[in-house]
Structure formats: C-alpha cells, structure tokens
Chain A
Amino acid sequence: MAEAVEGAATARRAPAAKPAQGIDLRQINAVRAAIQDGRLTQARRTTLGGNDAIAQAALEAGARFFGGYPITPSTEVLEYAARHILGVGGSYLQMEDEIAGIAAAIGASLGGVKAFTATSGPGFSLKQENLGYACLVEIPLVVINVMRGGPSTGGPTDPGQSDVMQARWGTHGDHPIVAIAPATVQECWEETVRAFNISEKYRTPVILLPDAKVGQMKEPVILPPLSQVPIVNRPRPTGAPEEYEAFGQTASGVPPLAPFGEGYRSHFTGLYHNRKGLPTKDVRLVDQLQKRIHAKLETREARADILKTEEFFAADAEILVVAYGITARAAKDAVLEARAQGIKAGLLRPITLWPSDPGRCLPHLARAKRVIVAELNLGQYRLEVERLAYEAARAAGKVPTEVLGLNRVDTRLITPRDIFQEIAR
C-alpha cells in the first residue's frame, strides 16, 4: 500500500498560503513533504532519540535558554541542553526545583531570549502556576512534558498519556493553551520547531506532550539544513517607546513584545492589567484582556498555524479510531490490517491535541458508525471526542455516534492487535 493516495488528500487540503519553497510545518510529515515536491533538495540525516530530537530542535528553532530540573523520562532534554546550549551562545540552569525551572525560562524569555523547560508527571504538576502566569502575561515559552503514568510518582520509566487533561486545564483560571503530541522522532523535531514558532508568533506558552515511549525511542530522521529551518520570531514594537503597549489591541490580537533594555519599558504582572501592563480593576479592561488572550488563538490564521490532525484512511471510514502519540502508531497498523481484511476503518490522529480540530474531525465523526478513542489513560481525550461527536451530530441533525474508549493504564502499550480486535468486534 503506497502512501501517495493519502499524501495527495492531505496536499489538497493544505492551506493556499503554502510557501513556494522550504518547509511548511503545518503539513503532516513536513520535511518529507518538502522533499517529495522538490522544495527541499538538501538535508541532514542522523539517528536520534525522541528527547534529543526535541532538545536539538529547540536549539535549532533559536532557543537560547533552558531552565529545568532532572526527572525521568524527560531528563535527556536537560542533558542535551547542558551539553549544547552554551556552545551556541545560550545558557541554561539546572534549577533548585521544577517551579524554578519554568520561572527561569519565563525570565529569560522576557529578556528577549527564546526559552524552554522540560519535565514529566509530578514536575508538570509543579509547573502549573507559572504556566498560568505565562498565559496571562503572554510569554513565549515551550514546556516539554514527557508523559509517564500517574497520579503521583506512578511509574517513572513507564509510558502514559495521562496528562492530556492537565495540559488543558492544569493551571487555574480560564486560559487558552496549545498542546502538541508528536508520535515519531521525526515529529519530535518538526513539532518542537512548530511549537516555538507558534509560541513566538502568538506570544503564548505551548506544551509539547510526547509520551515516554516517543521521548525514549530512537529513529533515523531527515532534517533540513540549518539555514532552512523555518523560524518565526515574536512581534516587536516599531513605534515610539512612549506609545508602546505590551498588552495593546492589534489587528492580529497579538501585541508586540520588546526585549528588556531597548527603551520599550513595560510592566509585566500576573494581576489583571491594562494595555500598558499596569494593574487594573477596570471591569471592562479585565474582561477585554481575558477574552483577547483567547481570541488571538482563534483567528483564521492562528487556527491554520495551530491545528493539525492527520487523517489516515479516514475519508470513507465507518469505524474511526482516534489516537495520538505512541498509541496512534499502533492504530495505524490496526487500520492497515482492517483495510487488508476489507473493513472500512480509519484513523484521526490529532497532532495538536489542544485546541481540538473540529474542521477536520467533524465530517468523519458524523459519518462514522463507531468511534474508538484509544489512549494510555482512562478516557481523557475521549471526553473531547464525545463533545466533537455531539457537535457533529447536532450539525447533521443526527444522534451522536457512539464513542468508545480503549484504555490501558498498566504501564504497557496498547498494541495493534488490541485496536484491531476493537475495530473488528
């Protein structure tokens, strides 16, 4: 079975603004796609671990500060940063705790330096307060959370996908969030670069959610030459410093962010603030601020940049599997086996988990007779799929499709056979 068919389907749906050359990270398998249609003629070939690919991609996307704390199974990110970031003119600190790791990264980002932190399970819990700070204060920041099982210490070396809801709602208060789940080492690299670009362009924290299996696996990868890594930098102010509004209203909804020290002085506070960043109790401004930080991620352009879902034999699928990360890899084998046996099965693989992607999901959910959400938790993303299935049904004036969970939390992976059995049932 050749991939050309699926590839063509993806290409047709690709946004019109596809750059004439170079890599468009909004595409599935972006580097390969660029090679396939001749936009990329030079490349680098190597073999990497998932966590190493993430750290390397961060540096290649321009990150020059890492703040972190050792925790299994994400420690390779810290260790890679420790080996390489000083050598490319950046810096890092292994902080005294997880809270300080993200805090230091936010501090560096305010200094105008792209920054990231990495953690797992318990450490992700500890980072939540400052993650909320970054949301409200609109700090570009990438948080890597290599998922293991939980709650509590759980199995530090075992894979899990149980931080999906924490990624969405872990910090208090209403806040927008972007969370991305890569499934291959190649994707670890591509999605990390995309995570930085989204975080810079939209001044928002982005969470990368590989599971421990993906973070710890090794695969050969093909990367663009350094000069062709697509890099986006945060918007900067251009007017007079007195006019600078670090939280002002702009056409895109994203206000410019000046690095410290260049005359554009501003205040940054986790209190509700006005356009200049100063604390306010003006109910109109408080309302505007919270709605703007959501709205800036909901524009057409933002959605095209952020949402990403792979449709794998989904076009005519009657039995639709929804899976992400390592579980989606098992699902692909299961779908291929089902197709070989004449069963119309397909896979929806959200690469961006949050926000979810109704545009690509609803038509399939409306058509499918049965939906199976396979994940290494007790049904977290299924809640979102149920919500989407309800929306799809309402739009089509039908009864919502049944959404079943295929779940596993015993530290073992869901296998292709598990999923196939569920499809064939």
Chain B
Amino acid sequence: MNAPLVCSLEMPDLRRTQMRRNIWCEGCGLGNMQQSISVALMRQLGRRLGVNFMEPAGLETIKNKVAMVSGIGCTSRMAGHLDFNTVHTTHGRSLAFASGLKMARPDLTVVLAAGDGDIFAIGGNHFIHAARRNLDMTLIVYDNRSYGMTGAQHSPTSTMGEVGASAPYGVFEPPFSLVDLAIGAGAGFVAQGAITTLQEHQDQLDELIAAGLEHKGFSFINVIGQCHTGWGTRNKRAEAFRYRQYIQQQVIPVDRWRELPAEARAGLRPLGIIHRVARPDLQSTPGYADCVSRSKKAVEAAAEEVEAIAPLPVVVDLRPARTCLRFAGSGGQGVITAGEIALSAAVRAGKNGVFTKNYGPEARGGEAYSDVTVSDGEIHYPQSDQLDVLVALNQETFDKFRKDVSATGRILVNATAVRETYGDARVLASPIGELLAREVRPPKRELGINILALALALDYLGLMSREAVEAAVMKGVGKKNPGLNQKALATGWAEAERLKTL
C-alpha cells in the first residue's frame, strides 16, 4: 500500500483512475505532499471559481483549470498521477515550460511539483529567474536533500558530512539556503512545510500550499521531506518513521525561530510563511499593460508602411543586367545604412534589389560594408566579386576591396581619408570628408557622410531618380534629422555633377 500515512479521507481523490498506485516507495513523504497539493487546490480553486469540489461538476471545473508542470525525478512523477492538464518535462526545465504556458494562458492555475536536485541544481537558473519574473505560479519543492530516483547522490541541499552514492566519504560542498535564495531572487511568497509524524504538520502544509495558491505572483513552498530508502539507508534513518522523526526534531514554527538569537538557530528549520510581500504579478503590472498598448500602435504603424497592390503576372527575366555597389568604411560611418537606403531607393524606382551586410564582431568600430545589387529582373547571387561601384570611405576598405571591382567598374574614394590609390585608373577621387565638414557642417564628425556618399554615387551612376533617393533617405534616417540629410543630399548631387564633367 502506498497511501500516505495521514490523509483527509473525506476529500475526493484527484488521482487518475489508471494511476491509483503511486510509483513512489512505500512510506515516502511524496504521498503526503501530493495529498496536501490536492486538498489545497480543491479548497483554494473551489473558492476562487465558486464551485463545490464535493460535487462532480465542481470537481471537474477545478481539474480543467489546473495545469501541473514538473521536471524529472521522484517528485516530478506526481504530474502523471494527478488528473489535471499535466506536463512531465525535461530535467530542471519545468519552470521554463510553465512560464511559457502561463504567458500564453493566464487563465490557467499553474502549479509545479519538483525535487531539490531538479530545481536547484540543473534548474537553478530557471528558479532565480522565475522568482524575479513573478508570473502567477506556485512551485512546491520536495526537499529530501538528495537525488532519489538515480539512487541517493548528493544534491545542492545535502547536509555536509552526510554520505551519498556520489559522496562516499561525505558531502564536502556547502548547501544552499533555499529560503534565502528565493527571497534574494525576488520571490513574493516563500513558505516552508515538513513531512513529519504529526498530523498538525500535514494540516499546516495544506494551508501553506493554499496560501501560496492564493498569492498573486510567484510562490514557493519548500517541503522538508525524506528519502528513507536512498539517502536514509546511507545515513542511519532507513525507516520512513525514523526519518520523519529526524525531520521533526529539526523544525520549529517560524515565529519562534525568529525570536531565537542567530547562534541558537543552527540546525533548526523554520516552518510557516517566511516571506510574503504583495506586488502585482508580471501580467498584472501597469508596465506590462503599457507595453501591450505601445506594441498595438507599432503594429498599426507597420501596417501603414506596407503598400497594397493589385499584382499582375510578369515574365521574369532570369539573366538581366545588374549593377553591384559596395559601400565600405569603418563601423561608425553608416555604410550599412547607406546600403539599406540604396535598396529602398531602387525599390521605389521600380527595380529589384538585394541588400546584404557584412560586419565583424568588432562592428562598433571595425570595418563594415554593405552590398546592394540592383536589377530589372531576377537577382540570384546577391553579392559580387565583380563590383560595378565601390564606395570606399577609408584607406583600409580601399586596399581590401579594390580587387573586387570589375575592370570597367569605378571606385569612388573619400580622398579626405584615402591617401594612396596606386594610380588606379578606375578611381574617382572626391574629398567627401571635407565636403561634409564644409557644406553640411554636422554636429558630430562624420554624421551624414554615408548620405553624402550615397547621393554622390547613385547620382553619378544615374541608376535611379533623385526623387527616389530623396524619398528613401527621408523615410529612413532623414526622419530624425531632415535638415542635415537634405544638405548631405544636395552636396552629394552637386559633387556628382562636378565629377561627371571630369
């Protein structure tokens, strides 16, 4: 018989009919914990949903509204036993699964049952973030200070000096204080219960879990429990009753515990609600509501950017003529933006185009470049080692990409920064940096150099109209600083005129 040592016999059984035999060892406190969770859920949800759990219809409503999520280990098998919407996930990850579920379905009551190894070792990262994030979920941990299912290895809560299968000479690592960890990570409700030989502790556990369920936000109930067949066998408490007595000797009501001087607390574990602060759960915060309404506006704004058209069938030219441009410079010069704007201008001019970018991990300052290929038909390969135009804003990119320019291509160099051009006949030198400083006079050095160079290059090529280029600039970066960008465009165009006459 696997029935818990004590239980409230008058309550309905929430176990699945096929799972009336628990998988746990006889006498394990997990049965008690399962019973407490069942009782607390029925009472608490019955009240919240306004249904009577003693009636089949009421019980059905409660079961449908509960999602129990668990990880791996003895405790996590509880999800299989109970007749809710249940998910037995991967080791340590139950809180992450549950977080997604709760975000997507705030209407469900999300409860987690887990062991100490599952939550505090492999799942430790998820625990601290779940506590911080404060979704409205309740986590109940069976803390037997060991791994039961794999055979009594030590866990992050094991007592130093005790012996386990993977600590044959004694545990030499210090344990976590789970309660302190939870509070430190931001949990709004932290309680501790215990499985002992006393009915009052079982009743207290029912109430602690019910209070956790009632708490809006992340609630954590740590349950001090035994593993008599595993850890107990190795540490002189191999019988369930003996192990429970051992736990009983350590626990003390939290009120009395608080009154004790710090040195007298050693070896004692407080029972009751240890920490409770009211704060809105994640999905009820004003900040979250604000994000929702701002996102709605962004969605509407994005829809306006899209053009509704009545498309007509087209004959697609598979090998059209194409023009490949590269804007290259240092990371801060906006060459990626220049490429994006050139693509946008090409599309506005009714052409096909592809934009690709290249940037190193050192993009914040190192060299960067973007390629734009423009065509009236299909563009397959989006880049080219046969560039038609290279715009090189600095010496490094001139040196590096010079050889990628086709024999008939042109290299537009910023003569302000590029001193050496090896007498290359393809080079068109323009003092872009000086022009910017003199004509555009940007508040920050080099601001607008990309727009000036872009206007110059596109106009020199005659690839698309000035209207298309201007519209693309003004829709993009120009929104922020229209005056400066207008000046940069005009300067670029004037310089293009000059170069064309050379």
The interface of chain A, by Cβ under 8 A from chain B, is: 1-4, 32, 35-38, 40-47, 64-65, 67, 83-88, 90-93, 95-97, 99-101, 103-113, 115, 129-130, 133, 155-157, 213, 216-220, 222-223, 225, 259-263, 265-271, 276, 278-279, 326, 329-330, 332-333, 336, 340, 413, 415-417
Contacts and interface: CB of A to CB of B under 8 A. Distances in A.
B157 interface: no
Contact of A262 (B64, B69, B359): B64
B318 A84 contact: no
B318 A46 contact: no
A203 to B, nearest CB: 15
B88 A270 contact: yes
A107 B104 contact: yes
Interface size band for B: 35 or more
Given A332-B381, A336-B318, A40 B306 contact: no
A313 B165 CA distance: 65
Nearest to A219: B354
Contacts of B363: 157
A129 B318 contact: no
Contacts of A133: 89-90
Q: Which of B63, B100, B129, B356 has the most CB of A within 10 A?
A: B100
Interface stretch (B78-86, B238-246, B250-258): B78-86
Given A104-B96, A216-B356, A276-B18, A45 B88 contact: no
Contacts of A263: 60, 64
Contacts of A4: 315
13 contacts: A65-B103, A100-B96, A103-B93, A104-B96, A108-B104, A111-B101, A213-B382, A219-B353, A219-B354, A222-B309, A261-B67, A267-B16, A267-B88
Contacts of B125: 96-97, 100
A130 B93 contact: yes
Contacts of A44: 306-309
Interface stretch (B169-177, B196-204, B339-347, B408-416): B339-347
Contact of B126 (A35, A86, A96, A223): A96
A144 to B, nearest CB: 16
A157 B80 CA distance: 44
B405 to A, nearest CB: 15
A105 B100 contact: yes
Nearest to B130: A96
Nearest to B125: A96
A90 B107 CA distance: 14
Contacts of A104: 96-97, 99-100, 103
Given A266-B85, A329-B380, A332-B380, 12 more contacts: A2-B315, A3-B316, A36-B314, A41-B311, A45-B309, A47-B344, A87-B297, A96-B125, A157-B359, A260-B67, A260-B101, A279-B88
Contacts of A106: 89, 97, 100
Contact of A42 (B308, B353, B354, B358): B308
Interface stretch (B43-51, B288-296, B424-432): B288-296
Given A93-B103, A133-B89, A329-B382, A2 B318 contact: yes
Nearest to B302: A84
B22 interface: no
Contacts of A2: 315-318
B360 interface: yes
B187 interface: no
A41 B133 CA distance: 47
Instruction: Name A's interface SS.
Output: mixed
Contact of A219 (B292, B316, B355): B355
Given A46-B305, A107-B98, A133-B89, A329 B299 contact: no
B306 A46 contact: yes
Given A45-B309, A84-B302, A260-B105, A216 B90 contact: no
B87 A107 contact: yes
Given A85-B295, A107-B98, A279 B87 contact: no
Given A104-B100, A261-B108, A333 B352 contact: no
Given A44-B308, A88-B299, A217-B382, A103 B96 contact: yes
Given A84-B299, A95-B99, A276-B18, A110 B357 contact: no
A100 B101 contact: no
B311 A222 contact: yes
Contacts of A330: 380-381
B20 interface: no
A270 B83 CA distance: 18
B234 interface: no
Contacts of A217: 354-357, 382
B313 A83 contact: no
Contacts of A333: 380-381
B316 A278 contact: no
A212 to B, nearest CB: 10
A415 B360 contact: no
Interface pairs A-B: 6 shortest CB-CB = A104-B100, A107-B100, A87-B295, A103-B96, A100-B96, A107-B101
A37 B314 CA distance: 10
B99 A261 contact: no
A231 B307 CA distance: 22
A218 B355 contact: yes
Given A86-B295, A104-B99, A269 B316 contact: no
A305 B12 CA distance: 47
Nearest to A327: B381
Given A3-B315, A278-B16, A103 B108 contact: no
A218 B339 CA distance: 10
Interface in B323-337: none
B298 A329 contact: no
Given A93-B100, A278-B18, A261 B318 contact: no
A413 B385 CA distance: 11
